[in-house]
Structure 1
Amino acid sequence: MHADLEALIRQPVAHRGRHDGNKAVWENTLSAFEAAIEQGFAIECDLQYAADAVPVVFHDDDMERLCNTKVDVRSKTSGELGLMSIGGTRDKVPTLARLLSLVKGRVPLVLELKGREGDDEGFASAVLEAVEEYQGPLALMSFDHWLLRDLRELGTTRPVGLTAWGEKPEDFIAHEQAMALGLDFISYHILHLPNDYITLQRSKGIPVITWTVRNAEQQAHSDANAEQITFEGFDPA
């Protein structure tokens, strides 16, 4: 197994950082990432592609939920996003480069690329350029098969994984098409486990991380069906 992936599954992964449900510490902010580092958790976060071709850390396509403005995140440059308050706090939308500068290899990172089919030219390469010199455990993943293909074709040496869910045969067919790219791990919805497809992948040595685990009961369920959890809203220790 890749050393970065071994590091990632060694400890619970804080979903969008160690936020508090967007009360005082908001998701995907430097404050949430610093809190995860202080508590020794790995970090999962989301990447969007800003208008100036710079990857930024943000989940939604639209900025209404997090920034109270009805704006497409991709219509703004990284500089403009860096001035926008998240949840009315002092935290602004950080670039991927700023995240990497904060973490500095102290805990593992898993970066989920949030794509838009037909509008992602350059996204994967921009992410890989940003992480090229990064010293520390780091993995990449996406729901979007075209981005996974781009990451593989660009020759990244970092682990690449499929983010997925589903319990139906047609779901598993789609997952298998992605895994045929030679992916290294799977991040799967906790409520859709166990299932025959994931059991088969684990038997092949493919590690599975679950999302999003929100209590001790779900954590125990994950422990029986996967290698690690992506969690929020409780203390997995």
Structure 2
Amino acid sequence: MKHFLAQRKPHLSPALPPEDKLKQPQLAALTSRPFAHRGVHGFLNPSTYQKYPNVPSPHQPYLFIPENTLASFQLAIQNQLAIELDLHYTNDRHLVIFHDNDTYRLTQVSQKIKHSTLTSIQELQLLSTSQQSKNPFPKEYVARIPTLESALQLIAGKTPLLIELKSEFNVNYRRFCQQTASLLQKYQDQHQNAPIFIKSFDPRIVHWFLHYCPNIPSGLLIPSHPNPLYYLGLSLLKFPFNSWLKPDFLSVDKKNIQNNHIQNYRQSHPVLCWVLSSNSEKHYQKYIDNSIIE
């Protein structure tokens, strides 16, 4: 991860239209440092992480850190990276950090998050952690699916935070947005307007934040597939749809980053690119304002 910080040249912020000038300080933080995709995770060399006080070093040459965990966020902070994470809404109205709609991939237990309670979610254990008795992180940092509240307590304004709100069929997106915004407002009150950004594939979520919570910059995700979602994202950048939705920034799959409509939007709004490695960032650098890296 430190390779990115050593090699990366700062991007010039695009000129914002007059109506967006008030967001310029927040958007400057959006391009200040690369975002660690779901935190710093995977099989890591011990040199990647710093030991906690009074905790023994692991004996194994590599340590496995699951994605979207408090440990992965702590490592991002220690490596001077911003944090990107994914957010879901449980059946009993809690905000939990997880990428997939179903818990199976990381726990081998299948639960749909939208049908689950917080208690049932936090009873699950993430894989590849129980055998690491010398793990330098507390068990709850590596074995448990965290809540947004617990992540905010850990991050505490130390680095920018990019939150993807996951849209689910039959989930009340308005309530999801309201509850997220309320928690983020409290967080910013506690940590002197700590830089926070939200993004979503769902234009309704982006529109809600633009309208009801304009102090938190909101971005539209544009994937390479599935095709309907890709074409929907591009269409929203064009007239007449752009009169309804004017996202503060775009977060774009690297396969589409050179698209003319995206590059035209970049003339006035930041564009992020996902997901890049140390070998690919240089190639895409001239088309983007910041990277989401892994």
Distance 1:159 1:109 in 2: 11
Residue 60 of structure 1 is matched in structure 2 by 100
CA contact (8 A) 1:209 1:226 kept: yes
Residue 276 of structure 2 is matched in structure 1 by 213
- Offset of residue 88 of structure 1: 4.4
Number of paired residues? Answer: 230
Q: CA RMSD in A?
A: 2.1
- Offset of residue 185 of structure 1: 0.5
CA contact (8 A) 1:49 1:55 kept: yes
- 1:20-169 equivalences under 5 Å are 20=42, 24-89=64-129, 90=139, 91-121=143-173, 122-134=175-187, 135=191, 136-166=194-224
Distance 1:141 1:179 in 2: 19
Distance 1:202 1:188 in 2: 11
Q: Which amino acid aligns with 1:8?
A: L
Deviations 1:214-236 (A, max 9, x none): 232x201221100010000xxxx
User: Greater Rg, structure 1 or structure 2?
Assistant: 2
Structure 1 gap ranges (5+): 233-237
CA contact (8 A) 1:114 1:142 kept: yes
Q: Which amino acid aligns with 1:15?
A: H
TM value normalised by structure 2:
0.73
| C-alpha spacing 1:115/1:179, structure 2 compared with 1 (3 Å) | farther
Residue 13 of structure 1 is matched in structure 2 by 35
| C-alpha spacing 1:66/1:178, structure 2 compared with 1 (3 Å) | farther
- Offset of residue 118 of structure 1: 4.0
CA contact (8 A) 1:141 1:148 kept: yes
More deviation in 4-13 or 75-84?
A: 75-84
CA contact (8 A) 2:37 2:85 kept: yes
CA contact (8 A) 2:161 2:197 kept: yes
> Secondary structure at 1:132's aligned position in 2?
helix
- Offset of residue 13 of structure 1: 0.6
Residue 187 of structure 1 is matched in structure 2 by 251
| C-alpha spacing 1:193/1:153, structure 2 compared with 1 (3 Å) | closer
CA contact (8 A) 1:3 1:137 kept: no
Q: Which amino acid aligns with 2:257?
A: L
| C-alpha spacing 1:45/1:21, structure 2 compared with 1 (3 Å) | farther
Structure 2 gap ranges (5+): 1-22, 45-62, 130-138
Deviations 1:82-127 (A, max 9, x none): 2321124232011111110000010100000001144234111111
Distance 1:3 1:192 in 2: 28
Distance 1:46 1:120 in 2: 17
Structure 1's consecutive aligned runs of 4 or more residues displaced over 6 angstroms after TM superposition are none
Identity %: 28
Q: Which amino acid aligns with 2:36?
A: A
CA contact (8 A) 2:114 2:171 kept: no
Q: Which amino acid aligns with 1:220?
A: K
Residue 7 of structure 2 is matched in structure 1 by none
Distance 1:179 1:223 in 2: 30
> Secondary structure at 1:131's aligned position in 2?
helix
Q: Which amino acid aligns with 1:128?
A: A
1:231 maps to 2:283: no
